[in-house]
Structure 1
Amino acid sequence: MKKLVSIGILGVQLDSFEPHKRWDRWRPTVSLLQQEDLLIDRFELLYEPRFAKLAKTVSEDMTSVSPETEVNQHEVNMGDPWDLESVYGALYDFAANYPFDTDNEDYIVHITTGTHVCQICLFLLAESRRLPARLIQTSPPKRAGVGNPGDYRIIDLDLSRYDQLAARFEIEKQDVETQLKSGIATRNKSFNAMIREIEQVAIRSPHPILITGPTGAGKSQLARRIYEVKRSKRGVSGAFVEVNCATLRGDAAMSALFGHKKGSFTGALDDRGGLLKSANKGVLFLDEIGELGLDEQAMLLRAIEEKRFLPLGSDQETESDFTLISGTNRDLSEEVAKGNFREDLLARINLWSYQLPGLSDRKEDIEPNIAYELSRYAEDHGRQAIFNKEAKRAYESFATNPESKWTGNFRDLNASVTRMATLAGTRRINLEIVESEISRLQKSWKGTKQEQADDLILEEVLDAEASSIDPFDKPQLAQVIRTCRESRNLSEAGRKLFAISRLNKKTSNDSDRLRKYLAKFGLKWESVCS
């Protein structure tokens, strides 16, 4: 059998005594060796230097009640016994230097004596396995009496051994996974395995996470779910701040991310805190991080590593303790090779990297996602739409067919379900609506890459209303949106778009012309560039 070794701190109050009365009162450290059914082979008694005399007497008394127990004294200077850092440091050093032999010995840590801070530190060291031990708690006898050692209880911190607790942890784990999947009962094995790992990382790790995958695969939604899990587990306390880096250019990029001081560039009329500052204690999601310029990348790297950065035009640093999640549809390793992305930044942001598969690679998840999109439509529009049996069979058969491309991934599916639900006047999606939608999707997938790109950018801005735009207007509106996103302000975008026609006008107001053009489609500059 293994030897049993106990570790405990000398109790300067409970273990102390008046010399002629010391056997008349309960002393926790001595009583531990008086338990008839607990044979301790060795006791490691920790004490502070100023209590050496008391430690010597208590050790002698321990030996007298249990001659078979070897009692070793360890002088440990804990400084202020109520200072957590001081006490933990001293006990940590003891644990780090102690020659534990778990193959041949079992260990128990006595947590009845010492200040509450000492007891907390012993618990933390045992829970983290720096002290590979169970805990033991002693209590005085209900009736005083000579030789009555009281009671004891051993506590094992391996929570997996407690069936009810283990069951609760499993339920909680499943709840977190469901939250990360937006409540969708996904069936794809590799995707579910990835979500299980992300669940652990979201709870335990403060380090950056990189989410890659094609446009429309759900990177932004997953990032928000990770934030919600972190916040529910108190991993973060601040806000979720999201920005599409493809919309950031030049001074506007620096200003948006890092803030600026008034007057630092033309148009900087007031101080601005910046998105990194807004994400303090929270999560910053940089979607399409591969679109950032090299200067912004350099500043971002320092902000990640040091939690400090310089706002534009300022000589005083700002601090922000944020958790970074990045998203991209690019191969950042290739971008590094091309000189478009910093290698040191990539190394810093991809400690945890996850590739989201496209919808065509998760055909078994299409059915539960259709149900999810219908429930989301009902929540957003206040009216429910459901398939009739024939229509449901036809749409699911088409959706899961290998020939169905789903080039826009979940954005395609969302737009498709939204269109059918909108057209279901009787709140039933019938076969006629499904056949019309299938024809619409097939035509859109046959388009050129440019047409596909135009459709994606319009769906991103207009959602389901993109389907109501005439084919004649689509390429023009898509180009206008791209130009707006590549420009710093409305005037610059207007100058680019009307560079030729403005030459034939005596006076021109490019901003007003562009504003009116966007208004035709119910759009504003802010909504296009957000």
Structure 2
Amino acid sequence: MKPLTVIGFLGSTLDASKFGPSRWNKWRPTVALTMHEDLRVDRLVLLHGTAHRRLAEHVAEDIASVSPETQVDMRVLDFRDPWDFEEVYGKLLDFARAEPFDPDEQDYLLHITTGTHVAQICLFLLTEARYLPGRLLQTQPAKRAEDGGAPGRWSIIDLDLSRYDSIATRFAVASAESTSFLKSGIDTRNAAFNRMIDEIEQVALRSRAPVLLMGPTGAGKSQLARRIYELKKAKHQIAGSFVEVNCATLKGDSAMPALFGHRKGAFTGAVADRPGLLRSADKGMLFLDEIGELGLDEQAMILRAIEDKRFLPVGADKEVASDFQLIAGTNRDLGEAVAAGAFRDDLYARLNLWTFRLPGLADRREDIEPNLDYELDRFAEREGDQASFNKEARQRYLTFAISGEASWPGNFRDLAASITRMATLSPKGRIDVDCVDKEIERLRRLWSGQADNAADILSEILSDEQMAELDLFDRVQLAETIRICRASRSLSQAGRTLFNASRMRRSSSNDADRLRKYLARFDLEWSVVNDLM
């Protein structure tokens, strides 16, 4: 056996005793660890402060009397504040680096029963990091009070977790649960997507830096951001709220007050103080979807808020603070936006530390099948009605869905809408082949461009009587308007697309209201038009 060296702190309380025969009736951990018949200590490095030199000498004398073969090497290690973690860790690290360890010739144990809790933690960390090349030694007194002077018990804690299959298995299960949580419990089959989710899980639990989620509309950025928030909250890493905003809706003079808040009287209509979205996300998470749509002024303030956790509300003369974690989403190439001068390079650099590109549904066709069941479960939760495919209908739908004929331009939104339509049109809760065939035909028509035909579009939302009353001019104009609405995520986005040229010539605009009034001429509402997507 190689010689054994034990390193530990003098216990200023546990090792103290009266300097008389009665001291042997008390369990003193430093003396006791040299009294075990099955633990031969060849050398004891006893760390102590200058103020406890007399106690250290007394303990060394008692060790010599019970274990003459143990060499006691007393080391003075003074701390200005023994509860200052930085000071204790730094001095112990200096000790470890200066000590001539030779693991090939000696074994080392780190006694963690004595010393302050801070010192014990530092010994653990330095041992785990291998600055102290040994194992942890823990001692405890005998169970019976009458055995106070007995050596008690000792045990070794090995930090090599790979040796403990049960512990390693538990860690693996916990990690798998986290990544499954991020995927909403869906058993995804795309290898590249699973690797990306594994990495996102590690980043989410170990970093508070901004995360940038890129990918096409409908790829699941918003849902993934919320799941990251819920995971961090479950791990007690975040306490505040999840605040989500679509930056495409923040345009013009309303953007700054919405994001950063305003003071009463800051502008016409500001009848009361408003905290703003960033303040609402304090201690929580802010998800800025479509961040590439923000104006350059808003981008500059967002950058300041990320870096300094402070910003100035509109109309205020004093900054406010908000400590939030940012997740940003975009379907644009921000690198190209920077080159075009539409996005600040310094903000992009700040966001680009952790960037993940979510693939569209067409690039994850193997994940369509598990998402069928997920969407049916969501329908049941939302509507209170269960729906399911019969075997032949499920197979027919999947055959079409994973084929090259299915383009899925709206990604998971298209899939969710498709499942919702079939479940809704199956009042008995059983989606049959006839229902699937109708849905496939509908998707083919929508994706092939046939739905761009004015008559096809209008016939879905207008009665024959309403169609007969429309002039050809109105039919063409209304059909194109509905097509734009279907391709847009919000009334505001559709309005900006439809009135983009004229809005540049106006000092102020409300495109959403303008579109709403246009649809009202035909007794149509945004919710009706958009539900048909």
TM-score by length of 2: 0.83
Tell me the equivalent position of 1:506.
Answer: none
Deviation digits for residues 229-259 of structure 1 (CA, Å, limit 9, x no counterpart) = 1111111111111111111123322111111
Task: Note if contact 1:218-1:410 (Cα within 8 Å) is conserved in structure 2.
Answer: yes
Match of 1:314 among 296, 299, 316: 316
Three-state SS of the structure 1 residue aligned to 2:20 is helix
Aligned counterparts of 2:170 and 2:389: Cα–Cα separation in 1: 37
Tell me the equivalent position of 2:6.
Answer: 6
Tell me the equivalent position of 1:39.
Answer: 40
Tell me the equivalent position of 2:524.
Answer: 520
Aligned counterparts of 1:482 and 1:173: Cα–Cα separation in 2: 35
Task: Note if contact 2:484-2:494 (Cα within 8 Å) is conserved in structure 1.
Answer: no
Aligned counterparts of 1:512 and 1:393: Cα–Cα separation in 2: 41
Q: Structure 1 residues 251 and 67, CA, compared in 2 at 3 Å: closer, same or farther?
A: farther
Per mean C-alpha deviation after superposition, the further-off stretch among 242-251 and 50-59 is 50-59
How far 1:482 moved relative to its partner?
8.4
Tell me the equivalent position of 2:336.
Answer: 334
How far 1:375 moved relative to its partner?
1.5
Three-state SS of the structure 2 residue aligned to 1:405 is coil
Q: Structure 1 residues 213 and 314, CA, compared in 2 at 3 Å: closer, same or farther?
A: same
Deviation digits for residues 387-407 of structure 1 (CA, Å, limit 9, x no counterpart) = 222221111100010232111
Match of 1:292 among 291, 294, 305: 294
Per mean C-alpha deviation after superposition, the further-off stretch among 239-248 and 149-158 is 149-158
**Count of residue correspondences:** 497
Aligned counterparts of 2:382 and 2:218: Cα–Cα separation in 1: 20
Three-state SS of the structure 2 residue aligned to 1:177 is helix
Task: Note if contact 1:386-1:427 (Cα within 8 Å) is conserved in structure 2.
Answer: yes
- Note the 1:375-524 alignment, pairs <5 A: 375-447=377-449, 469=461, 473=478, 475-477=480-482, 485=492, 513=517, 520-521=524-525, 523=527
Tell me the equivalent position of 1:350.
Answer: 352
Tell me the equivalent position of 1:71.
Answer: 72
Task: Note if contact 1:109-1:135 (Cα within 8 Å) is conserved in structure 2.
Answer: yes
Task: Note if contact 1:7-1:45 (Cα within 8 Å) is conserved in structure 2.
Answer: yes
What percent identity do the matched residue pairs reach? 53
Does residue 91 of the first structure (1) align with residue 89 of the second (2)? yes
How far 1:67 moved relative to its partner?
4.6
Per mean C-alpha deviation after superposition, the further-off stretch among 133-142 and 305-314 is 133-142
Task: Note if contact 1:76-1:90 (Cα within 8 Å) is conserved in structure 2.
Answer: no
Aligned counterparts of 1:191 and 1:520: Cα–Cα separation in 2: 40
Q: CA RMSD in A?
A: 3.6
Deviation digits for residues 404-423 of structure 1 (CA, Å, limit 9, x no counterpart) = 21111111111111111111
Tell me the equivalent position of 1:209.
Answer: 211
Q: Structure 1 residues 47 and 196, CA, compared in 2 at 3 Å: closer, same or farther?
A: same
How far 1:45 moved relative to its partner?
2.0
Aligned counterparts of 2:446 and 2:163: Cα–Cα separation in 1: 56
Three-state SS of the structure 1 residue aligned to 2:263 is coil
Q: Please tell me the residue identity of whatever aligns with 1:485.
A: S
Q: Please tell me the residue identity of whatever aligns with 1:476.
A: T
Task: Note if contact 1:252-1:488 (Cα within 8 Å) is conserved in structure 2.
Answer: no
Q: Please tell me the residue identity of whatever aligns with 1:366.
A: I
Task: Note if contact 1:254-1:312 (Cα within 8 Å) is conserved in structure 2.
Answer: yes
Match of 1:254 among 245, 253, 256: 256
Tell me the equivalent position of 2:467.
Answer: none
Task: Note if contact 2:380-2:386 (Cα within 8 Å) is conserved in structure 1.
Answer: yes
Deviation digits for residues 299-322 of structure 1 (CA, Å, limit 9, x no counterpart) = 111211121111122221211111
How far 1:209 moved relative to its partner?
1.2
TM-score by length of 1: 0.83
Aligned counterparts of 1:68 and 1:204: Cα–Cα separation in 2: 48
Per mean C-alpha deviation after superposition, the further-off stretch among 308-317 and 16-25 is 16-25
Aligned counterparts of 1:265 and 1:123: Cα–Cα separation in 2: 58
Deviation digits for residues 249-290 of structure 1 (CA, Å, limit 9, x no counterpart) = 233221111111122233222211111111111111111111
Task: Note if contact 1:92-1:125 (Cα within 8 Å) is conserved in structure 2.
Answer: no
Q: Please tell me the residue identity of whatever aligns with 1:186.
A: T
Q: Please tell me the residue identity of whatever aligns with 1:110.
A: H
Tell me the equivalent position of 2:197.
Answer: 195
Three-state SS of the structure 2 residue aligned to 1:299 is helix
Q: Structure 1 residues 43 and 315, CA, compared in 2 at 3 Å: closer, same or farther?
A: farther
Per mean C-alpha deviation after superposition, the further-off stretch among 234-243 and 71-80 is 71-80
Which structure 1 segments of 5+ residues have no match?
Answer: 453-457, 459-465, 500-508
How far 1:327 moved relative to its partner?
0.8
Task: Note if contact 1:239-1:279 (Cα within 8 Å) is conserved in structure 2.
Answer: yes
Tell me the equivalent position of 2:115.
Answer: 114
How far 1:171 moved relative to its partner?
2.1
